[in-house]
Amino acid sequence: MRGIRLTGIAAVAALGLAVAGCTGSGTTTVKPAGNGTSAAGGAAAGGAAAGGASAPAGAAGPAVTITPANGAGNADPSKGITVTASGGKLTDVTVRASGEPVAGSYSADRTAWHSTWALNVSTSYTVTATAVAGGGAATTKTSTFRTLTPSSTFRTEIIEGYQQTYGVGMPIILYFSHRITNRAAVERALQVTTSKPVIGAWYWDDSCGMAPTCAYFRPRDYWPAGTTVSFTGHLDGVEGAPGVYGTHTLTQEFTIGRSVIAIGSTRTHSTQIYVNGKLTYDWPISTGRPGDDTPNGSYLTIEKANPVEMKGPGYDLMVPYSVRFTWSGDYYHDAYWSVGEQGFENVSHGCVNLSPAHAEIYYNMAVPGDPITITGSPQKGTWDNGWTMWFLSWPQYLKGSALHEAVVAGPDGSTFVNPATLPPDTARAPLQTAPPGNANAG
């Protein structure tokens, strides 16, 4: 039977607007090396200079340029901060807003420094930079500016709940309140940290039905069981569409639990349940009758309830031990009324019917994100009818990335890499990854 959609699992959005006020003045000091002091800089990716006012080097001191320039009152936060030195090398760059340091990194030759992430909107920043010339003279420059206040903003929600446990197929799911067109910029701002090494990618979806734009991070293969995942969206100041800026940094932490994988065959009328890679249960089932066929595909459990009210032509039932895997109302559930047909005949309205005892066992172990693969059906699966990210092969999934790059994540964070540089994939379906072509009709 197909059921009424429940309210869903908890979606947690860690959203916050940072508004800061700092004071400072644009100054340039030229002095012999060794006589001045400055604070240490940050760490991440280098950049190049553009615009800004240069400090005259005088006889020996290098020229230091800070962009945005001192006194700027409507700086574009998406462009970040760039500091360059001409005639010398940068020794220290410090950036602060509301007393908080801003991360960034030097170029290889230390003639440039660039902030790592976009700057916060509506915020004052103070930058202090010191460069030393080959002759020993040092230049220190300070610049204070303020970023713009956007007239249009977007907000982002994440499905995962704080320190909740999810199945090995669970993607990171983001909902954006505005249609995102500058996807490459947003994708670069998304960081994934994992307790175990993971290869994955982002995928953009405008047809998800939950928000104007959705984005999903999915591992190349199922998550390693027991992985702790931390997500940070450095979205404050990112221009997601022309004139539309993010105004918050989104964070979340969750855990991947044990591996619980269900394989259900509409032809053999049976389902196998694998726990941590071992066949633990083999149960008779009844799936959708002709015309109401349960569709093929590698789905994920979405939510569960005991009971769920299920309505359709000629029926209105409270159904115990129901675990949902499509938005249209397909469940693994207790079907005490069809026990005689289970294992022999497909008689349901599309759900996977189990005996009361078997349904209770599966219900008690299931968490959102556990893979369910339906095979043997004459009905193909429909994209976005549920969490269908595993319908796609890895090459197909990569095409959905705005950067067309893979993500390599670990305890120190994540980096984007050329997929051609990745090690070969040795995972095997259906226990380590989804079977290829799983949504095709049987």
Contact in structure between 125 and 144 (CB atoms under 8 Å): yes
- The overall average pLDDT reported for the chain is 89
Domain 27-146 and domain 260-389 have a common topology: no
SS3 state at 398: helix
Residue ranges per structural domain of the chain:
27-146, 152-257+402-421, 260-389
333 as an active site residue: the answer is: yes
- Spot the catalytic one: 114, 214, 349, 351: 351
- Are 201 and 215 within 8 A, CB to CB? no
Indicate if 22 belongs to the active site: no
Looking at 3.30.930.10, 2.60.40.3710, 1.10.510.10, 2.60.34.10, the CATH number of the domain 152-257+402-421 comes to 2.60.40.3710
Record the pTM.
0.86
CA distance 315 to 330: 16
239-241: strand order across its sheet:
152-154, 244-246, 239-241
* Nearest to 229, CA basis, from 172, 303, 173, 278: 172
In this structure, how many other beta carbons lie within 10 angstroms of the beta carbon of residue 277? 12
pLDDT digit string (tens) for 30-77?
444 433 333 333 333 333 333 444 444 445 689 999 999 999 999 999
Which residue type, as a one-letter code, is found at position 327?
Answer: W
Tell me if 406 sits within 8 A of 220, measured CB to CB. yes
Catalytic residue among 114, 178, 248, 333: 333
Write out pLDDT tens, residues 235-247: 999 999 999 999 9
CATH superfamily of the domain spanning 260-389:
L,D-transpeptidase catalytic domain-like (2.40.440.10)
Helix (H, G, I), strand (E, B) or coil at 389: helix
The CA-based dihedral angle spanning residues 120, 126, 127, 128, taken in that order and rounded to the nearest 10 degrees: -160
Name the pLDDT band for 136 (thresholds 50, 70, 90): confident
For 80-90, write each residue's pLDDT tens digit: 999 999 999 99
C-alpha atoms less than 13 angstroms from C-alpha of 214 in its C-beta half-sphere: 19
CATH topology (fold) of 27-146: Immunoglobulin-like (2.60.40)
